[in-house]
Amino acid sequence: MAEADLSFPLFHQQPRPGWQTVKDERLFANPHISVDRVEVLTPHRSQQPVPWLVVKRKAAVAIAPVTASGDFVMIPQERIPVAQECLEFPAGQIDCAVEDVTCQTVIDTALRELAEETGYALAPGGRLEPLGWFLPSQGFTDEHVYLFKAEPVGVVSQPSPDGNEHISPARLVSPGELRRRIAASEITTALTLALYARMAAKGSI
């Protein structure tokens, strides 16, 4: 398991000088997303409110699992909006309101998604390393994704993805193959690219 006292900065969308929402109308909502029509004054557009559609989503996690031999564990997952199976790192939403997210709920979600989607878990003495967060599509959504590296991991069970998901068996991908696939645009999902970029920036890949 991850260290009980593992802590890291959390994303907080706080009021900032010069930003003021003058109108916020809820157009649609379900358990996963909501769509708001807003009008906002910004630091450089302070005279006339800017109209915008904002999709609000729960926070999420994405995990780069690494085996003792140095291979990454990745999953081929069917993605309906783009009508293709994408090779990506395991990920999932944190099942609580954004304002209720804590370090522990983020950790618990990361470990659960890792096991459910891949069948892997941290090996004894393994470490869940926080890699910050990223904004997957800040032009239309406030969604933010917490990034982790889990090392080493090993198989502990059969995957048990959500009933609405179709995930093919996990694949082991070497760092060299991952780099090649990204360069060739064979891996294109934002969370996978963000994890690779963050690990590269930290010198761990």
* Domains in the chain with CATH codes: 20-56 (no CATH), 59-135+144-201 (3.90.79.10)
The token pair at 119 is 């069948």
Q: What is the mean pLDDT of each run of 10 residues along the chain (205 residues)?
A: 68 87 96 95 95 96 98 95 95 93 96 95 95 96 97 87 77 97 97 97 92
Q: Write down the pLDDT at residue 160.
A: 72
Residue 147 forms beta bridges with which residues?
62
* Tokens 């609580």 -> residue: 96
Query: Running DSSP on this structure, what letter comes out for residue 199?
Result: H
Instruction: Read off the pTM.
Output: 0.92
Q: Write down the pLDDT at residue 87.
A: 96
The token pair at 14 is 């706080």
Strands 20-29 and 33-42: antiparallel
